[in-house]
């Protein structure tokens, strides 16, 4: 019997991936084929072809991005900060090994350099080969790949950036430190005086503790802070949060102008994504 790749099981002859890193919620995806599998020094990397979401990147058994909905997250984590900054030239992406956010940043003519700092080159290789719907060809000459720990890079870089995007996996394994105050302090130092950062801050439904801790930590460092949301179908709970920390006052949403080619983001979405559900507004207010 051919060995089943890790995290997959066979039920009545069908292949299934079950995300079982959560105690009380298990999400399962029926899988057509295993397109890529490799154990890297950091994590177990797979690209699986799923029936409902097409090819998907799976790290240590957890779905990271899919060809069906990856553009929602990648457009929203990139275009919100990049439109809030008047003329972004230097962009730093921490994580983002699926290259989706980097491709979105490359849509800005003002951008001269995109430093993509991904700890695991296997992720980039797998996505470029097997997840082109998300990674594109990611061959824009402005994208400079650095296969190092984002914590180390941020602490040691002498570069100054206009926008920093922390496109991390969940706060486990190598990504755990990307949610720590020390890392955010390094990012603060790496930002120009009018710079801003954004990070994915987990689910307002299922991960309120991490979300609030992230919101608080960024608020302790940055004079201006905002949260916005988007719905990403393959993320547990659907609704997902993003937290911005900015060194300068952010323009009012109605002043946001957007005309890039995108499948989910548009000018109205980028303006209205800051409108938060009442429970979330009250939660943020309770801890501000």
Question: How many residues make contact with ligand SAM (CB under 6 A)?
Answer: 25
Stretch that binds ligand SAM, among 92-100, 186-194, 269-277, 278-286 (CB under 6 A): 92-100
Cβ neighbours for 266, distance < 8 A, ≥ 6 positions apart: 258
Which phi and psi angles does 220 have, rounded to 5°? -70, -20
Task: Decide whether 103 or 169 has the Cβ nearer to ligand SAM.
Answer: 169
Q: Residue 122 CB, nearest distance to ligand SAM (Å)?
A: 8
Count of residues making up the chain: 288
Q: Residue 266 CB, nearest distance to ligand SAM (Å)?
A: 20
Q: Residue 177 CB, nearest distance to ligand SAM (Å)?
A: 6
Q: Binder to ligand SAM among 55, 81, 88, 96 (CB under 6 A)?
A: 96
Residue 103 sits in the site that holds ligand SAM (CB under 6 A) = no
Cβ neighbours for 63, distance < 8 A, ≥ 6 positions apart: 17, 19, 27, 29, 53, 56, 57, 234
Per-position b or e across 172-209, b if 16+ CB within 10 A of its CB: eebbebbbeeebbebbbebbbeebbbbbbbbbbbbbbe
CB 192 within 8 A of CB 88: no
Q: Is residue 167 flagged as an active site residue?
A: yes
Binding mask 139-178 for ligand SAM (x = CB under 6 A): ----------xxx---------------xxx----xx-xx
Q: Residue 35 CB, nearest distance to ligand SAM (Å)?
A: 16
Q: Which residues are known catalytic residues? A: 167
Judged by the rule CB under 6 A, the positions of this chain that interact with ligand SAM are 57, 64-65, 73, 94-98, 117-120, 123, 149-151, 167-169, 174-175, 177-178, 200
């Amino acid at each position: 019997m051919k060995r089943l790749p890790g995290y997959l099981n066979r039920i009545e002859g069908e292949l299934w991936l079950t995300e079982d890193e959560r105690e009380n919620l298990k999400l399962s995806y029926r899988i057509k084929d295993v397109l890529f599998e490799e154990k890297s020094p950091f994590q177990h990397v797979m690209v699986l072809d799923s029936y409902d979401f097409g090819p998907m990147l799976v790290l240590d058994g957890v779905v990271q991005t899919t060809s069906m909905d990856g553009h929602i997250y990648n457009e929203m984590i990139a275009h919100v900060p990049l439109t809030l900054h008047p003329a972004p030239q230097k962009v730093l992406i921490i994580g983002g090994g699926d290259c989706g956010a980097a491709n979105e940043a490359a849509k800005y003519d003002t951008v001269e350099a995109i430093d993509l700092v991904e700890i695991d080159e296997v992720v980039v290789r797998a996505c470029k080969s097997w997840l082109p719907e998300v990674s594109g060809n990611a061959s824009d000459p402005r994208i400079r790949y650095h296969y190092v720990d984002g914590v180390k890079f941020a602490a040691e870089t002498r570069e100054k950036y206009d926008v920093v995007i922390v496109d991390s996996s969940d706060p486990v394994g190598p990504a755990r430190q990307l949610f720590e105050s020390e890392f955010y302090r390094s990012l603060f130092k790496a930002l120009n005086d009018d710079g801003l950062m954004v990070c994915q801050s987990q689910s307002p439904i299922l991960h309120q503790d991490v979300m609030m801790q992230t919101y608080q930590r960024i608020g302790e460092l940055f004079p201006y802070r905002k949260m916005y949301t988007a719905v990403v179908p393959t993320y547990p709970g659907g609704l997902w949060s993003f937290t911005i920390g900015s060194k300068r006052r952010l323009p009012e949403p109605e002043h946001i102008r957007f005309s890039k080619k995108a499948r989910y983001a548009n000018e109205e979405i980028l303006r209205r994504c800051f409108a938060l559900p009442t429970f979330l507004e009250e939660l943020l207010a309770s801890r501000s």
